[in-house]
Amino acid sequence: MAKKINVTPLHDRVIIQPARAEEKTAGGIIIPDTAKEKPQRGTVVAAGPGKKDEPVSVKVGDTVLYGKYAGTEIQIEGNDLLIMRESDILAII
């Protein structure tokens, strides 16, 4: 699980710690860094309060799936994170 951070996103924004990229395929082939795909799964480390009439439905610690190009990459306390709107999240696992 991701470390707690001292940042609170505004409105319906969520901060996500992306999962590590796959190192090997199912057949055991090692994937080089240049061929790795961007992960589409991560853990919620912070969530805003939501919009005026619509609270955020994800909570800290949830594992979520999001679109390949969703969110903005940020770095907080040396950690590479993504910040995105809750509507960019496709599913809670």
| 15 pLDDT above the threshold of 60 | yes
Residue range 9-18+32-62+69-86, CATH number: 2.30.33.40
Q: Are the beta carbons of 75 and 83 closer than 8 angstroms?
A: no
Q: 33 — phi, psi (to 5°)? A: -55, -35
Res 79 pLDDT > 70: yes
Give the tens place of pLDDT for each residue, 19-65: 877 677 777 777 777 766 677 889 999 998 888 888 888 989 999 99
What separation in angstroms does the CA of 11 have from each of 4, 51, 81, 82? Answer: 19, 5, 18, 16
At 15, give phi and psi (nearest 5°): -105, 130
| CB-CB contact of 46 with 14 (8 Å) | yes
Q: Parse the chain into domains and list their residue ranges.
A: 9-18+32-62+69-86
**What pLDDT does residue 1 have?**
46
Q: What is the pLDDT of residue 2?
A: 52
The pLDDT value recorded for residue 3 is 61
